[in-house]
Chains A and B, each alone.
Chain A
Amino acid sequence: MFKRMLERKPGGVVDFMLSAVGRLSRGGWLYWLWLVLLLGVMGNGGFHYLDQLRHGLMITGLSDQISWGFYIANFAFLVGIAASAVLLVIPAYIFHRQEVKDVVLLGEAVAVAAVITAMTFVMVDLGRPERFWHMIPGIGEFNFPVSLLSWDVLVLTGYLLLNLLIPFYILYCHFQGREPSFRVYFPWVLLAMFWAISIHTVTAFLFSANPARPFWHTALLGPRFIASAFVSGPALMIAALQIIRAVTRYPVSQKVMHMLALIMTIALQISLFFVIAELFTDFYNEGSHSASSRYLFFGLDGHAALRPWVWCALGLNLLAVLILMINPLRENMFFLNLACLLAFVGIWIEKGMALVVPGFIPTPLGEVADYVPTSAELMISGGIWAMGLLVFTLLAKMAIPIELAQRDRPAEAVAGAAATT
């Protein structure tokens, strides 16, 4: 039975995979230029990572005082992207909105790319990456369920698999020219939805579990993570969908854009409200729990590396929410894109560096220091982002032709194929 599956017969799994991979080698000059560009940035990052392997993490700006920095900041942000990209699933499968269903596979591709990117950021942050296997249950010593980090590894891996499996099944069916069976994939879709929330909650808990770090140790952190993720994720999706619409003939309905923009607007409002709530609690009665916020927003003992960044993030988010709240502006693609860009960068700062780094300042013993990433850290991170873009590009490249072929098939043919299988 297994052997039969592996034979390359037309319409078989192997045929499916081979033809999908085969599509990667067909593309216009723009496609190749894009790939070369990404590979260049990745190569540069890889080169610097070799340096990090050779010399240790001393090539970063990290220290015993601030022991997590740019890598973990990007990780936290990307988990949010991964979680919210799948939120498209809800209108698509629960409310059966066809125009959303059309793009749901792309959302899953974004999720896959974001999870892989997030996990790579954790890998490059490890002091002993070759001991990675110590985390594998069975051969390693997995500290589950006590360690939140072990939870995170588990939910991210599960999420990755889910988001690979569902599209695989759907695409495979379409490849064979039949409609996927709703009863087969729907339970998994439902699971993926809850899982999406869980990955971001667990990542927030990873931080808020530490009473040693008052800046993170707040019940609001989880909700803040989710709210901001529902800003950055749709912002990215809006951009990605427009690019796909421009370079392929894939149908991306304007209705989807509107829906995403609306989600973004509401989430950004909630997110800003949470910021205000935090600021009030920190500064109305300023105690030692507010020292990190004071460092972040105003500087502490002459150290203020993050101050310009956090104000910039606040400004960007405010501007974005203003644009989004004015209906005519939101429906204008130029302004919508502008708002997406502003909010994406704003959240990237807020849920990245401005979240991770102040947790360490001052240290639990009251020492104040600054952290600034080195150029090596930036290059390595750039390489990882490029890898994420590459993963998304390749996934989309494989999926889109299958989807277009299914769409071009006359409806009777699809029905016929369904009847024979």
Chain B
Amino acid sequence: MSTNPQPDQPLDQYRRGFLKKLGLVGGAAAATTLPAVGHPAWGGSTLGDAVGDFFQSHYKRMDPEEIEAALGRIERRAKKRLGVEIQVANTPPIPGVVFGYAINISKCQGYRRCVTACVEENNQGRDSQVQYIRVLQMDKGGMNLETSEHYYAPETVPVDGKFYLPVQCQQCDDPPCVKACPVQATWMEPDGIVVIDYNWCIGCRYCMAACPYWARHFNWSEPQIPAEALNPVTHYLGNRPRPRGVVEKCTFCIQRTRLGRQPACQEACPTGARVFGNLLDPDSEIRYVLENKTVFRLKEDLGTEPKFWYYTDV
């Protein structure tokens, strides 16, 4: 979380030549003093930051000092690119907490307020229109995902004869995406959240092929967010600005939930269909739902053990 300004002035001239060369191998271009060429890979990095990024180690291998430096680099880059002061936290998991989520599909009306709240909270690229939550408009009388409507746009919801099924990362307890990753850029944290080190991911997209819930999204280009829309309260493993060429997904709003808050989608839902909490706390609402409602999980037959349930009122 350090915001030590680096003395990058003397490097400025040097940077032009260096970054131009880098443009050939890594695609880095525009810095503040350079006219923007295409989409910069590292935004307005200084030479030191670009080198620091390149040699940055795996999240779990970094010592506290290295993590501090990594957080500082992200903060400096946001400042340079967008002029926004952001804080990149590295809040650790809370001991004795494993998060779980349940959605009451009798209550869900298909408003998709969770979808927009998620985009605003988690700094998804606005041009690329990445959304972590997909609300499916389903035909009543069945559970067939293949006949679901993804881009429903009627005058008003809910539509007669339909029900709504919001799907996002199910935070599998035996996540196939984690198995797939050749470089361990994605893993499950002790609080059950499957996270991605955006600085370690090589962008092979094997995890996207492995995920049975279509929860993972790739940054096909540099994500663009207007400065005023950027959420400055971020977490390294969560909603901090992502580079191009890496995979991202829902993290149960790690930047909020590790501070004891609710995820943005839960807060945004006007119907109260979403229940989020600590699975290890016998008095939590989520535990109440699991013990008193008839719940089901999506594609349970695949053995992914989602920590994400659905239930109905009847």
The interface of chain A, by Cβ under 8 A from chain B, is 50, 53-58, 60, 62-65, 67-68, 122, 125-132, 134-135, 140-143, 146-150, 153, 206, 209-213, 288, 291, 359-360, 362-367
Chief secondary structure at chain A's binding surface: loop
Name the A residues within 8 Å of B148 (CB-CB): 365-366
Check B218–A360 contact: CB distance below 8 A.
no
A212–B213 CA distance with the chains assembled, in angstroms: 8
11 interchain pairs, CB-CB under 8 A? A53-B23, A54-B29, A55-B27, A130-B26, A132-B202, A134-B185, A141-B184, A142-B182, A363-B214, A365-B213, A366-B144
Cα-based distance from A379 to B13 in the complex (angstroms) = 36
Q: A135-B182, A141-B184, A365-B145 are in contact. Are A53 and B26 (CB under 8 A)?
A: yes
Closest to A143 in B: B184
* Contact between B146 and A288, CB atoms less than 8 A apart: yes
With A141-B58, A149-B206, A367-B150 as contacts: A57 and B181 at CB distance below 8 Å = no
CA distance A360 to B210 in the complex (A): 10
A55 CA / B181 CA spacing, docked (Å): 24
Query: How would residues 269 to 310 of chain B score, 1 for a CB under 8 Å from any chain A CB and 0 otherwise?
Result: 000000000000000000000000000000100110000000
> Is the pair A125, B204 in contact by a Cβ cutoff of 8 Å?
yes
Q: Interface size class for chain B?
A: 35 or more
Q: Which residues of B contact A65 (CB under 8 A)?
A: 214
Report yes or no: B176 in contact with A150, Cβ–Cβ below 8 A: no
A267 to B47, CA, bound (A): 56
* Residue in A50, A363, A366 whose CB lies within 8 Å of B147: A366
User: Is B152 in the interface zone, CB < 8 Å from A?
Assistant: no
B219 within 8 A of A: yes
Q: Which residues of B contact A (CB under 8 A)?
A: 23-27, 29, 37-39, 41, 54, 58, 61, 130, 134, 136, 144-148, 150, 167, 176, 179-185, 200-206, 208-214, 216-222, 243-247, 299, 302-303
Check A212–B150 contact: CB distance below 8 A.
no
In the complex, the answer to whether B217 meets A55 with C-beta atoms within 8 Å is no
Minimum C-beta distance from A202 to chain B (A)? 12
- CB-CB under 8 A from B182, the residues of chain A are 135, 142-143, 147, 149-150, 153
Question: Which one of A126, A142, A147 lies within 8 Å of B180 (CB-CB)?
Answer: A147
Write the chain A residue with the least CB distance to B26.
A130
Q: Given A134-B200, A365-B167, are A211 and B183 also a contact pair (CB < 8 Å)?
A: no
| B146/A56 in contact, CB under 8 A | no
* B209 x A213 contact (CB < 8 A): yes
A362 to B212 CA separation, bound complex (whole angstroms): 12
Interface pair A55/B38, CB less than 8 Å apart: yes
In the assembled complex, which residues on chain B have CB atoms less than 8 Å from the CB atom of A211?
A: 176, 212, 302-303
